[in-house]
Structure 1
């Protein structure tokens, strides 16, 4: 039990560092966008920054395939260590890249390159960490333990918000934050990534991978072709969930500032409090899935998201006080957590050990790059053309499509492939 808890803790902490590095970009985009995209109004600057945020998602399938193949052939531990080192490199590039005023077009180009490096890293991190946490957990508590992937995933964004709060309130003026202070979180992220890499290097490999290692190794993509149904299930069950998740995380900070018209301080506080609430929900929902099954939670998210996304976002746009804004976002998280808390274990339970990481990572990364990473850009584009409410319809459609998949699929808790070989 002690070694299992330590493995889950170290694996989760590394996941937190990776997502902190990735989300620091979104958290501080309000401050550095003008340094890299000096032309246009604030919405256009944020849209340009959001497009580069989306670029990091477009390469996640490449990372999912590369790291998935590596993890399935050389171990989950080695893949986790390599991915966090790669994230460190991407953060360092952002931290030291000169502004547009200094080097012109090369500035956004370097920023884009850094996001690509981080996107490849994150594409591998999700599949490797989801697989590792699911494999080290015991069968009766697999949903609970694997839910900590999203506890730390959300925690990574929360840490980025906390760093932003400290810089805003304690250490820097707004002029300093916009001038050079936005570089600080990326330096912090790079240093933390080195620490996480050292911790991950000492993780023990999962027993199911060690048992499967002696089996004949084949091309991950070729083996994955035998599980086309499972691949399509990953795409379908991810589509609505990832669009909703990135709406209420990365985009919500801009939404509160540009649409709800909260101040910078109010935006940061509401975002931080809603993320704390979301973190608390993940293990509760994960433990519930170990009792009633994964499918019912997914259906609950699908129904709730289809029925209440438009009313929640429409009402949120019309309020102007931070407490009401927080309560509405908290209500959204009561729905979205039905997906976020268990989506990692559901995907891991679909595939046998030999191709599990690739099976989880590649179709998930493809779906996230299309529907998750672009959510913020699509929302800002609709806003820029004066039709912000169209995004609410788009998000509802994504969730409704996934609901069809949830209704049709089997419950993976009762039909798990964790210990099954192809």
Structure 2
């Protein structure tokens, strides 16, 4: 049986005689990924509005609800390794497309549950319990999403284009985040703080449930990238990637540590950091975040194409050294000035592109095709849970204990650790990708 004939027989495959469309593959991954990450990021953007509704205030500390809300944000991250392992196994056993359709449904369900979360005043402890369950569902989904979509994107790329295709992982992630930021900023500009707290914050989550269904519909038409040989061979065991490739698993962790702390600090936590530490207006902080995210999305394909020409390592090393040197002065430069926050955020986005535009390609190029999705998903998601998901909580906690100036050093230190990994990492850009 020829490859084309096999594709004709498989659901979601390209019709016989018609070549696969690279644009269609990018759309299938990107639209669903954007929907996934819209739902995920809407939580962090709107936390300052619903924290008081779900969690009771401490007797003498107004930061208690915000700290509790970011703690739940971190709890969602700790489901991501499980999602990376389970959905990665589905992608390696049943196909990348099957895993992608499951993750988008989970995310939509979690978003709907957040929207329906009752207030603490009306139901007591049930309110935070419902919120935690919703974030656990979303964490499971996001962990599986990165594993499946990373593998799907890079395997869909032609020779010499893996970096470019890789960059769309964060293009679509950023589009989802941008929509979340834009919707949040629009609501904040049209409603008072009281109206936002009373129920305006629920609207973006209801919208997220709807666009997740749209993403599910689009993904059903994606073409499977797992090769015929893998589809017809024995299925990998659940922990086969960890047992057979421990060095590669550790490499994923080292590659990700600095990137994830820098990414979540600059793209998610910085508006809250500016509000808590410099008294920056919440509405203006969301607007700055929206503008800088547009800039960030435009940078990603440029970084991906550059890595296809000069390799992945120069970009990774440039990112890590840049943050190791400039994270502290940049974060200390944040004031209550609109221009200062915008410049700080955009400067960080330029440095961050050295990691985000190539991360998917580097991760996929490390593991063999048989266990690629699960091999990436578990160590990547575990590292993100430990360092990315806790960033907002740690930053807010440093402020609470009176040492807000330590958080920038924490970011710089992790980036320096990853820089050492990047220096020792073999260049993978010119390798033939096994499928």
- TM-score grouping bracket, smaller chain normalisation: over 0.9
Q: Give the CA deviation at 1:2.
A: 6.6
235, 248, 266: which one aligns with 2:284: 266
The 1-side partners of 2:302 and 2:180 are apart by 24
Pairing of 1:347-386 with structure 2 (within 5 A):
347-386=363-402
CA contact (8 A) 2:271 2:289 kept: yes
CA contact (8 A) 1:75 1:209 kept: no
Q: Which has the higher helix share?
A: 1
Q: Please list the CA deviations of residues 196-255 of structure 1 after superposition, one character each: whole Å capped at 9, or x if unmatched.
A: 11111111111x433321222230412432211111110001001001101012211201
Question: Where in structure 2 are there 5+ consecutive unaligned residues?
Answer: 1-18
Q: Please list the CA deviations of residues 353-402 of structure 1 after superposition, one character each: whole Å capped at 9, or x if unmatched.
A: 11000111110011001011011111111110000111111111111110
2:36 pairs with 1:18: yes
Q: Give the CA deviation at 1:138.
A: 0.8
TM-score if structure 2 supplies the norm length? 0.93
Q: Please list the CA deviations of residues 249-308 of structure 1 after superposition, one character each: whole Å capped at 9, or x if unmatched.
A: 221120121112221221111111111111111111011000000011001011111111
The 2-side partners of 1:371 and 1:97 are apart by 27
2:323 pairs with 1:308: no
Question: Where in structure 1 are there 5+ consecutive unaligned residues?
Answer: none
Identify the residue that residue 45 of structure 1 maps to in structure 2: 65
Pairing of 1:48-67 with structure 2 (within 5 A):
48-67=68-87
CA contact (8 A) 1:220 1:355 kept: no
Q: Please list the CA deviations of residues 75-94 of structure 1 after superposition, one character each: whole Å capped at 9, or x if unmatched.
A: 10010000000011111111
Identify the residue that residue 401 of structure 1 maps to in structure 2: 417
2:360 pairs with 1:344: yes
Aligned residues: 415
196, 199, 209: which one aligns with 1:180: 199
Q: Give the CA deviation at 1:152.
A: 1.2
The 2-side partners of 1:223 and 1:96 are apart by 38
* Mean CA deviation greater in 359-368 or 248-257: 248-257
CA contact (8 A) 2:182 2:287 kept: no
CA contact (8 A) 1:224 1:355 kept: no
The 1-side partners of 2:67 and 2:208 are apart by 24
* Mean CA deviation greater in 364-373 or 3-12: 3-12
CA contact (8 A) 1:262 1:320 kept: yes
2:219 pairs with 1:200: yes
Pairing of 1:76-95 with structure 2 (within 5 A):
76-95=96-115
The 2-side partners of 1:210 and 1:83 are apart by 24
The 1-side partners of 2:166 and 2:212 are apart by 21
The 1-side partners of 2:240 and 2:375 are apart by 11
